[in-house]
A = this chain, B = another copy of it.
Amino acid sequence: MQDTPPDSLDSTPPTPVDADIHEILAARWSPRAFSDRAVNPATLRSVFEAARWAPSSGNTQPWSFLAATRGEAREHARLAGVLNERNRLWAQDAPVLGLSIARLRDEDRALRHGVYDTGQAMAMLLVQATALGMHVHQMAGFDVEAAQAAFEIPGDWEPMAAFALGYRGDPAQLAEDLRSREMAPRTRRRQRDFVFTGRFGQPAGFASAGAD
């Protein structure tokens, strides 16, 4: 059975929104401290099912994923093995480790949206995981070539991000420098800095000005 969705989502640290967003999107966040609670197979199926139904250019679905649970000790360790050491320190004990992989070419045709659509599929996975009370932390810091070799990823596909997935743990389990990052306020550019009308750089009339 899939785990029962939680009655309420963990919303710490708070997301200082300038406009209302759905509670799942506000609760989505990338922790480093994961609990050792296992993620059961039915729950993992739901998480990847969300990715499955992401949109893509011409329904090409140019994404794949590699994943292993801690119960699959050898495969989990091989995924931990391609992480940069800084990431491995906190991620190696996460209940699930994985890679998102984008298709760059289909036969001789470049897929202009292969990477973009893989980002979309991963985002849908994040939303589903968050809705089920979990968190995901993606990492750019991994050895792309080592991953490509270790997992026999064909040349027309490219691993884009590594990720840790599971239920949140206690920040006290982290080394001190990571613990302070875990508690840092969340920050983003204001809408006026990236939502434009008419020409690039000209804030949209509706875009939230936000606090000054």
Contacts and interface: CB of A to CB of B under 8 A. Distances in A.
Interface of A: 2, 15, 17-22, 24-26, 28, 30, 41-42, 44-46, 48-50, 52-55, 57-59, 61, 63-69, 72, 75, 78, 101-102, 112-113, 115-124, 126-128, 131, 138, 140, 151-154, 157, 160-161, 186-189, 191, 194-201, 204-208
9 contacts: A21-B50, A22-B131, A54-B123, A67-B197, A113-B140, A113-B160, A119-B122, A120-B126, A152-B200
A64 B195 contact: yes
A195 B201 CA distance: 39
Given A116-B102, A120-B119, A151-B198, A21 B128 contact: yes
A49 to B, nearest CB: 4
Contacts of A131: 22
Find the residue from A15, A68, A123, A157 having the highest chain B CB count within 10 A.
A123
B160 A22 contact: no
